[in-house]
């Protein structure tokens, strides 16, 4: 049952992966989502730029390919990754899954944030992700949800993201 081919994609295969991320919010910090800077009274506290979409997405991509998570690959104590633009993490993740014979097919995202409202930034976020992942904007779902004023999201203590991805083999 187990052999080395389990590690890599076979022709026509698909895989599904899931990833989440959460960062504490602090006033005066920049809010960056999928590389888009969003005017905001607060932003994530993080070793990197705290881009929850790209972090959740990276873990979903790696998980679908059966790889280690971004916390293992990009240790938050490693000075090389301090203030790292998360786009570079995604590039590294795409390289890693590409070596295993996988590429993104479609993704779906949920961001949990009380404020600001993200609706007006939805299209620029999808456009950025489309370019980053080389998939059509139509293959990218992006929802924003508030915390209805309660809990860590509702009290603007945190921002969270959930990502689901589908990979397909690079050989079709
Ligand atoms: Mg993170």
pLDDT per residue as tens, the chain (172 positions): 333 446 688 888 999 999 999 999 999 999 999 999 999 999 999 888 999 999 999 999 999 999 988 888 888 788 877 777 899 999 999 999 999 999 999 999 999 999 999 999 999 999 999 999 999 999 999 999 999 999 999 999 999 999 999 999 998 7
Report domain extents, the chain.
14-169
* Orientation of helix 86-99 relative to helix 122-133, angle to 10°: 40
Residue 84's pLDDT is: 76
Q: How big is the chain, counted in residues?
A: 172
User: Residue 31 Cα, ligand 1 centroid: separation in angstroms?
Assistant: 12
User: Residue 129 Cα, ligand 1 centroid: separation in angstroms?
Assistant: 17
User: Residue 59 Cα, ligand 1 centroid: separation in angstroms?
Assistant: 10
pTM (2 decimals)? Answer: 0.92
Residue 79's pLDDT is: 81
Domain 14-169 top-level CATH class: alpha beta
Tokens of 71: 């916390």
Residue 3's pLDDT is: 39
In angstroms, rounded to a whole number, what is the distance separating the alpha carbons of residues 172 and 170? Answer: 6
Tokens of 38: 């969003």
In angstroms, rounded to a whole number, what is the distance separating the alpha carbons of residues 121 and 15? Answer: 29
User: Residue 92 Cα, ligand 1 centroid: separation in angstroms?
Assistant: 15
Residue 6's pLDDT is: 61
DSSP per-residue letters across the chain: ---GGGGSPPTT-EEEEEEEEEEEEEETS-EEETTEEE--SEEE--SS---HHHHHHHHHHHHHTTPPPHHHHS-TT-GGGTT--HHHHHHHHHHHHHHTTEEEEEEEEEEE-SSS--GGGHHHHHHHHHHHHTS-GGGEEEEEE--TT-HHHHTTSEEEEEEEEEEEES--
User: Residue 51 Cα, ligand 1 centroid: separation in angstroms?
Assistant: 6
Longest pairwise C-alpha distance within the chain: 53
């Amino acid at each position: 049952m187990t052999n080395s081919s389990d590690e890599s994609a076979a022709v026509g295969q698909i895989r599904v992966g899931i990833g989440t991320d959460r960062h504490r919010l602090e006033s005066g910090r920049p809010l960056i989502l999928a590389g888009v800077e969003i005017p905001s009274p607060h932003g994530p506290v993080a070793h990197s730029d705290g881009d929850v979409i790209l972090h959740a997405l990276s873990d979903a991509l790696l998980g679908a390919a059966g790889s280690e998570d971004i916390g293992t690959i990009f240790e938050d104590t490693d000075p090389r990754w301090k203030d790292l633009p998360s786009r570079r993490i995604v590039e590294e993740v795409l390289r890693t899954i590409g070596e295993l014979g996988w590429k993104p097919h479609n993704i779906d995202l949920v961001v949990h944030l009380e404020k600001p409202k993200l609706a007006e930034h939805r299209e620029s976020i999808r456009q950025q992700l489309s370019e980053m992942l080389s998939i059509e904007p139509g293959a990218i779902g992006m929802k924003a949800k508030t915390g209805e004023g309660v809990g860590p999201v509702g009290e603007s203590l945190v921002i969270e993201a959930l990502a689901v991805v589908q990979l397909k083999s690079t050989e079709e």
